[in-house]
Amino acid sequence: MDTSADPFAAIRDLLGGDDSPSEIIPASAEDCATFTDDAMVCTCNNVNAGEIRGLIQSGECGSLDDIQVRTRAGGGCGACVPFVAGIVQVELSRKADIVH
């Protein structure tokens, strides 16, 4: 592999990674419903479910990307990303139902 264009390509090769981003599969609505507002969803960045729900419901955030930028949820180890994505998906659906 030619690593001259991408200085991190050699590191990804050593780690066995590839350049393609993995698809985020949100946790189910049922799983996300089990989180109380004070439940810590992202322990790396101290983000709880209520903070995510509040940002979506207030209109301050309207996507997973918005939540990640605003709260840094999922920016540490990444293990929480499916749950963050699931909560965002559920809250956006609820918000859409309220509007309609």
| pLDDT for res 70 | 97
pTM of the model: 0.74
* Number of domains making up the chain: 1
| pLDDT for res 17 | 55
Q: Assign residue 46 the CATH number of its domain.
A: 1.10.10.1100
Q: Would you tell me how many other CB atoms lie within 10 Å of the CB of residue 99? A: 6
| pLDDT for res 54 | 97
User: 96 near 37, Cβ under 8 Å?
Assistant: no
| pLDDT for res 87 | 96
Structural domain span for residue 85: 24-99
| pLDDT for res 7 | 63
User: From CA 41, how far away is CA 14, in angstroms rounded?
Assistant: 31
- Residue segments in the chain with a per-residue pLDDT below the cut of 50: 1-3, 20
For residues 33-54, one letter each, b for 16 or more C-beta atoms within 10 angstroms of the residue's C-beta and e for the rest, the string is eebeeeeebbeebebbbebbbe
